[in-house]
Structure 1
Amino acid sequence: MRLDKYLKVSRLIKRRTVANDACDAGRVMVNDKVVKASYDVKLGDVIEISFGNKSVKVKVTMIADSTKKEDAKEMFEYL
């Protein structure tokens, strides 16, 4: 699954276009490397997103094409 879609489905970022813009700006890193929105997310990847002065670091635990709001939290775990 593409990184921008994963960020939207897991609800780490609200909209896919915002996720795409964040990737283009270099604010999203996977396994300590800056990646593009087209990066293919795999189980076990560590994603770090920089939001202004704070950053969020999560580990991918599940990949699904769509989820309910309650189940989205199971797609990752905070580090």
Structure 2
Amino acid sequence: METIEYQNGEITILWKPKVCTHSGVCVRTLPNVYDPKARPWIRTQYATTQELIDQVAKCPSGALSIKKDEEK
């Protein structure tokens, strides 16, 4: 299954498009980050790492998940 990754240097948001139900929770919670009309549509630079983690936890379909980036 396809997974698209969006990084911010601390975490990576993993998005599975085929799992996404397009409920809009992400867009309503962090509209500056999630913009379906933009490419890329997830712009992690517009929120803190904690805001991103908190929002992803609210994804009802499980299409969004978090992977912590390894320290370099």
TM-score strictly above 0.5: no
TM-score range, shorter chain: 0.3 to 0.5
Q: Greater helix percent: which structure?
A: 1
Higher normalized strand content (fraction of residues): 1
